A and B are shown apart, each in its own frame.
Chain A
Amino acid sequence: MNLDEMQTVWKAYDRQLQRTRAISEKIIVSMIAERSKARFASVRRQYLVGFGWLLLCLGAGGAVLWGNPFDYTYTWQFAPVALYCIGLIFLLSDMILAFRNLKRIAFHHHALDIALRNVIAVYERPRRFMRYILYGFLFSQIFLFPLSFLPRAIERMGLWTALGERLIAIAVALLLLYVAHRLGAFKERHRDKFKHDLSELESLKAIVAELQEE
């Protein structure tokens, strides 16, 4: 077989392909639907992983409260860990509610836009209360947790040196939070992608409607 023969085979192949079924807007809708469904399935899997992780963190927090591995001497020193556990319980409850709402959504090709709007609504539900919980959680972990070691540090190195040392720990925690923020840890990427799918679907529908009018 030489290159000329290859071209003959290719042309015959091309002729055959011209006789295949046409692509309709239904296929494009079906493609968007499949992509959204795949993303939706991945979001649900991520939720399950998130549950596992939060439960593990909660277990660790409980173990600290129960076993006192940091040798806290005053009751108030347990406050940051207690706040951490309470915050985790709230976050876990919020996640369970969101997961239950997501589970109720069914992706059908004929009502894809409704499904996408429902998913976006789950992401954009009013969460002012949860935001306060999250701020409290972060505050306790960034400021209060390092300060809970202050009494022992004062015993070891005196008031001002201990305060300075604890401030370094707080600064490191703040820096880590800033880096996480810059890396997009708090961005709702999935919500943006679902919104993108919805806008694609809406523009496709608009094009189809225009073509039908013409």
Chain B
Amino acid sequence: MINAHRAILFKVCHVYCRERALQEDLFQEMVLQLWKSYPTFRHESRITTWMYRVALNTAVSFFRTVRKTPEQQSISKHEFQIPDIASFPEEYGNRDVLHSAIDRLTRIEKALVMLYLEEKSYQEISDILGIGLSNVGVKLNRIKIKLGKIIKSQSV
């Protein structure tokens, strides 16, 4: 189940941190949280909605607690590597612009913009993030304006 939608986790990792070690720690935490919370998943929503909810909540709270938890070690050398966006082919000519623009958003804004880029409906975004439907629209409009300004300032 996690495997079928693993790209969700990779994207959350890339949206929330640039540092490879932190990405791996976050990925580790998200997989553990998904695995632990699966027994309580009641199949009332789509599996991807639930995965987004757990992954984004983990990511948002991860940076609050990261300094308190015992030092984690990279899993990459043993089993796994989070794909490095920088190593992807040149078809992503604007990937750096996209990432540095997202970097300048707040944690909640990052979650919203990621779901927007994933072409989720307002209803799904509202379900995943647990915010009101009208609030989604308002926040997304603000973020679009903010992102537009960021991108414009970067291109200048």
Which of chain B's residues has its CB closest to A5's CB?
A: B94
Contact yes or no, A34 B11, CB < 8 A: no
Give chain A nearest CB distance to B69 CB in angstroms.
9
Interchain CB contact under 8 A, A6 and B117: yes
Give the size of the chain B interface in residues (CB under 8 angstroms).
40
Assess whether B91 is in contact with A23, with CB atoms less than 8 Å apart.
no
Cβ of A34 and Cβ of B148 under 8 Å apart? no
Residue B41, interface by CB 8 Å: no
The A interface, classified by DSSP as helix, strand, loop or mixed, is helix
Count A/B pairs, Cβ under 8 Å.
97
The CA-CA distance from A28 to B6 in the complex, in Å, is: 13
Minimal Cβ-Cβ distance residue in A for B93 = A9
**Which chain B residues lie closer than 8 Å to A200 at the CB level?**
36
B56-64, B70-78, B128-136: which lies at the A interface?
B70-78
Chain A contact residue count (CB 8 A cutoff): 35
- Chain B residues with CB under 8 Å of A9's CB are 92, 94-95, 98
Minimum Cβ distance to chain B for residue A18 (Å): 5
Residue numbers of A with Cβ under 8 A of B are 1-3, 5-7, 9-10, 12-14, 16-18, 20-24, 26-28, 30-32, 34-35, 37-39, 41-42, 109, 200, 204
